[in-house]
Chain A
C-alpha cells in the first residue's frame, strides 16, 4: 500500500507539469495583457506602460517565462500577483478555506440527502415516493446551477424581503461590518451550498437507488434474511454497505465538478473563494494567479482521487494494491 501511494504521488508530478504547460500556453495565447488597462488610460504614457510591462517580466519570450515560473514553483515560490503584487500563495491560501467550506458543506449536504432518499426509493420501488424521487433527480441533473442560484436569490432574498418574511442574504460569507457569528455564517452558507450540492445530490440519489436495488437481489441478502436477521440489519449492514462502495469513486469523480461548479456559484453569491479568484484573474490576465490557482486545484483533485483509491482498499478487503 505504501509503495502504491508513493508511486501515485510521483505520478502526479508529470501530470501537474503537463497541466501547467497547457494552462500557461492557453492563458498567454489569448490576446490581452495585465497592463491593458494602462494602455487605455490617457494619463499613463506609453513609456510607463512599456516599463511596467518589462518590470513584470512580460517582455520575455513565452518559453523563457514558463521556465522561470516553473523553476520558481519547484522551489515553492509562486511569485507575486501581476495586479495586486501580493504573493500568489497568500492570495490563494486566503481564499482556499472559503472554497473548501463551501464544497465540503455541499458534499455533506449531498450525501445527507441522497443516501436516505436513494435507499428508501429502492426499498419502496415504484411507490409514489420513488416516482417523485426519480422526477426530482432528473430535474436536479437538468437544472443549471447558475439559473438555480439566481432563482433562489430572487425568491429567498428579494421576494421574501418584499413579503416581509425573514430573507436570506444574497451573498458574502457573513454580514459585513460584523464579525459574523455562527448563525450569521450558516445563513450565508445555506443558499450557495444547496445550489452547489444540487446536481450531485440528484445524480447520487439515482445511483444509490439503482445500486441498492442491485444489492437487494444478491444471494447474500437472501442468506442474511434466512438467518433470521432483523430487517434493518439486513438493509443497513449487509445491503447499504455494499451499495455505497462504488459511491466512493463517484465522490472522487465529483470533486473536480464541485470545484468547477464553485466557479459559477461563487460568482453568483459573491463568495470570496478560489472560483471567483480564478475568474477575476483570467479576465485581468493575471497570469501568475491563474497558474498558481490551477496548480493548487489540480493538486487537490489528484489528491482526492488518490484518497478515493486508498479508501476503496480500506472499505473492500477484496481490493489490494501492490
Chain B
C-alpha cells in the first residue's frame, strides 16, 4: 500500500517548496536526453512490475494523498453542493483560491474551469478496492483517490505530512503515538470519520483471518490501539519503530459503519472490496462508481471532500494492453496521462500537446551474488565480488539501456529518499577494468587458454537469471556478459517466465546470480534486504549476514531523529559497499506523459494523487 506514503510534521516551509520546485523544473529539462534505441520497457515495467502485473507492488506511488493545508481549505462550503450536479464553480471557490495553498507550491495553477474528466491509462487492472487488502500498484492508485490515511509522505521531501491526522505526538521513548484527527472529514455517505474508524481499520489489519498482507508487521509493532475521544487515537508500540509513521500510518482508513459487522474472513470478498457503488466508500475526493474488470474503473467527485470540492467531475482509469499502446493513446489523446517507457520519451516529447515529466523513484535494479557456499563457491571472497563491480561500466548501461533516465547507484538509498547522501559514502565503484583484473589475479583467478579465468581447475563461469520478456533486464544481463568477458569472467544469461523466476529466487534459491528490479518503500529502513533474519522468507535471497549491519538496522529502527538515522544508514551502506552482497546498479527514473489539457497533475513516485482535487482540465 502506500508504502511511499506519508509523513509527519509540518515541514512544508518555504525552502522545501522552493527546492522542490527547482528540482522539478530541472528534471523536466534534464529529460532532454532521449536517444533512440529500439528498446522498450518502462520504468515500471522494467523495474518491478514486469510484465505481468504482479509485481512488487509498490511501484509508484500509490499514495494517499492530498494536499496540504488545512487552513484555507476550500473544503467547507456547505452551501450549494447539495444538489448533485457538478455545479459550475461556485463563487466561494474563486475567492478562496487566492490564498489556496497547494502541496506543490508555486506549481499550482488556479483552476480556470470546472467539470470534465481525466483518464489515466495503465496496463494492469486493480485487484481490490479495499484499503486493507491492497498490495499492488493498480489497486493502491485507485484507493488513494477514494480514501485517505492518517499521514502521507510529502511528494518532494518524502517526509511525513499530515493527512487525516492534523498533528501527532510521539513520546520520548518512541513507544506512544497520539494522533489528533481532523474534525471535518466525512465519509462519502455523509457519516463523520472518527477515531473509531481508525481503531477499527487497524484491528481489521491485526486479525489474521482478514488476510491483510500487513498483519505480521503491524502485530509485531503495535501493542494497543485506543480511541481517547472522537478525534484522538493512541497507538502503543511493543518496541520503538522509527518507520512506523511512513510504513504503517500510511495505511488507508476504512469505514467502520460499513464493515463493522463483516466477519474478517469475508472482508476480501465483501462488496466493499470487490467494488459496489454506495458500499465502497471512502473519505477522499472521489467516490466509487463502477469497476468493469479488465476495462476501466470510474470514480466521480465527492463534493464535500474536506480539502475542497474537486474540480473535475470524473476520473477514469482505463486498462490498455501494454506500454506501447499506452504511449500511443497518450499521443492520440485517448488517455490523458500514463507512464511511458524510455524509448517512447522522444516521440511523445515532440508532440506539442503532451508534457513529459521525468521524476526520481524508489525503484532500483540490482544483481545478487549467491553467498551460500553450498550452492556456489565462486563469490565467497568480497574482493572477487568487488572486482566484478569494477568490471561494469554502469554509466554506459544507464545511457544505453535507460536512455539516460536513471542514476548510477552509490549506496543503497534511492535518489528520491531523504536518506540519500552519496557524498558521505566511502566507496564509489567507478568503471575500472584494470583494477578488476588485478583484483581477480590477486585472488588466484588466472586466465586460462580460452580467455576465461581459472583457479584450482575451476573455471570462473556462472549463470545469471532474470525474467523473460523484460527487455530492459534482458539487456542488462547481456551487457554484463560482454563486460565481464573482458575481464576473463564467463557469465551465461538465462531468462525464465516471471513466476518461474520468482520461484527460483524466493523459493528454491537455485542460482549463482540473478538480476531483478525492485522498489523500496519511502522509509529508508532496508531490513528486508540486508538483515540476517530476512534470509528466511525475506528479501535477502542470497543469504547475506553481517552482525554489524544487523546492529545498525536495529539502531535505525529505534532512532526517531531523522539526521541520526541518516548517519546510521550511511554507516550501514559503507559496510555494504565493502561486503557487496548484492550490487545495486542504478536507480531508474519514472517518466509520465501528460496531456496539456490537464493542469495541476504532477507525476511523482511518492504521492501522485495527493492533490487530485486540484486537478482540472481545459474545456
- Which A residues form the contact surface with B (CB < 8 A)? 30-33, 36-52, 55, 80, 83-87, 91, 94-95, 153, 157-158, 161, 167, 169-173, 176-177, 267-270, 272, 276-277, 280, 283-285
Contacts and interface: CB of A to CB of B under 8 A. Distances in A.
25 contacts: A31-B497, A32-B498, A36-B54, A37-B56, A39-B506, A40-B55, A40-B506, A42-B529, A44-B213, A44-B214, A44-B217, A45-B220, A46-B216, A48-B214, A48-B215, A48-B217, A49-B213, A49-B537, A84-B126, A85-B128, A85-B274, A171-B321, A176-B295, A270-B321, A283-B499
Interface string B308-338: 0000001010111100010011011010000
Nearest to A157: B332
Interface of B: 1, 3, 48, 51-58, 117, 119, 125-128, 133, 135-136, 208-209, 211-217, 220, 247, 265, 268-269, 273-274, 292-296, 298, 314, 316, 318-321, 325, 328-329, 331-332, 334, 497-500, 502-504, 506, 516, 518, 520-521, 526, 528-529, 536-539
Contacts of A270: 295, 319-321, 325
A86 B334 CA distance: 29
Given A32-B500, A270-B321, A283-B51, A84 B293 contact: yes
Contacts of B503: 31-33, 36
A88 to B, nearest CB: 11
B536 A158 contact: no
Contacts of B268: 85
Given A84-B126, A170-B334, 17 more contacts: A37-B53, A37-B136, A42-B56, A44-B213, A48-B214, A48-B217, A51-B208, A85-B269, A153-B328, A167-B332, A170-B332, A171-B321, A173-B295, A176-B296, A177-B298, A272-B294, A280-B125
B583 to A, nearest CB: 18
Contacts of B56: 37, 40-42
Given A32-B500, A37-B135, A283 B54 contact: yes
B127 A83 contact: yes
B195 to A, nearest CB: 25
Contacts of A91: 293
Contacts of B504: 31
Contacts of A39: 502, 506
B214 A42 contact: no
A280 B125 CA distance: 9
Given A85-B274, A283-B52, A47 B216 contact: yes
Contacts of A153: 325, 328
Contacts of A94: 292-293
Contacts of B127: 83-84
A43 B293 contact: no
By CB atoms of chain A within 10 A, which of B126, B296, B321, B497 has the most?
A: B321
A241 B48 CA distance: 59
Contacts of B329: 170-171
A45 B119 contact: no
B499 A31 contact: yes
B325 A171 contact: yes
A42 B246 CA distance: 14
Contacts of A40: 48, 55-56, 502, 506, 516, 518, 539
Nearest to B521: A43
Contacts of B117: 177
A31 B212 contact: no
Nearest to B505: A40
B332 A161 contact: yes
A80 B271 CA distance: 13
Given A91-B293, A283-B53, A33 B334 contact: no
A280 B520 CA distance: 26
Nearest to B124: A280
By CB atoms of chain B within 10 A, which of A87, A173, A284 has the most?
A: A284
A84 B136 contact: no
B86 to A, nearest CB: 13
A286 to B, nearest CB: 10
Nearest to A52: B211
Contact of B498 (A42, A161, A169, A283): A283
A47 B220 CA distance: 11
Given A43-B217, A169-B334, A32 B292 contact: no
Given A37-B54, A37-B135, A176-B318, A85 B214 contact: no
> When A and B form their complex, which 6 residue pairs have the shortest distance between CB atoms, in order from nearest?
A32-B499, A46-B537, A42-B528, A283-B52, A45-B216, A31-B500
B478 to A, nearest CB: 23
B149 to A, nearest CB: 14
Contact of A158 (B57, B216, B314, B328): B328
Contacts of A45: 216-217, 220, 537-538
Contact of B294 (A41, A95, A167): A95
Contacts of B48: 40
A20 B294 CA distance: 24
A48 B213 contact: yes
A94 B526 CA distance: 42
A80 B499 contact: no
Contact of B211 (A37, A47, A55): A55
Contacts of A44: 135, 213-214, 217
Nearest to B525: A42
Contacts of B54: 36-37, 283-284
A266 B111 CA distance: 39
Nearest to B213: A44
Contacts of A157: 328, 332
Contacts of B294: 95, 272, 276-277, 280
A172 B58 CA distance: 27
A51 B215 contact: yes
A86 B321 CA distance: 22
B125 A30 contact: no
Contact of B213 (A31, A41, A83, A285): A41
B60 to A, nearest CB: 14
Contacts of A36: 54, 498-499, 502-503, 506
Nearest to B126: A84
B211 A51 contact: yes
Given A45-B217, A170-B325, A86 B136 contact: no
Contacts of B220: 45
A46 B48 CA distance: 19
A311 B296 CA distance: 40
A85 to B, nearest CB: 4
Contacts of A31: 497, 499-500, 503-504
A42 B211 contact: no
A2 to B, nearest CB: 40
Given A176-B316, A177-B117, A80 B269 contact: yes
A42 B506 contact: no
A176 B119 contact: yes
By CB atoms of chain A within 10 A, which of B213, B314, B504 has the most?
A: B213
B52 A43 contact: no
A31 B505 CA distance: 12
Nearest to A47: B216
Contact of B320 (A55, A86, A87, A171): A171
Contacts of A86: 269, 274, 293
A194 to B, nearest CB: 18
Given A42-B529, A51-B211, A37 B57 contact: yes
A37 B316 CA distance: 25
A272 B292 contact: yes
Given A32-B503, A91-B293, A276-B294, A267 B321 contact: yes
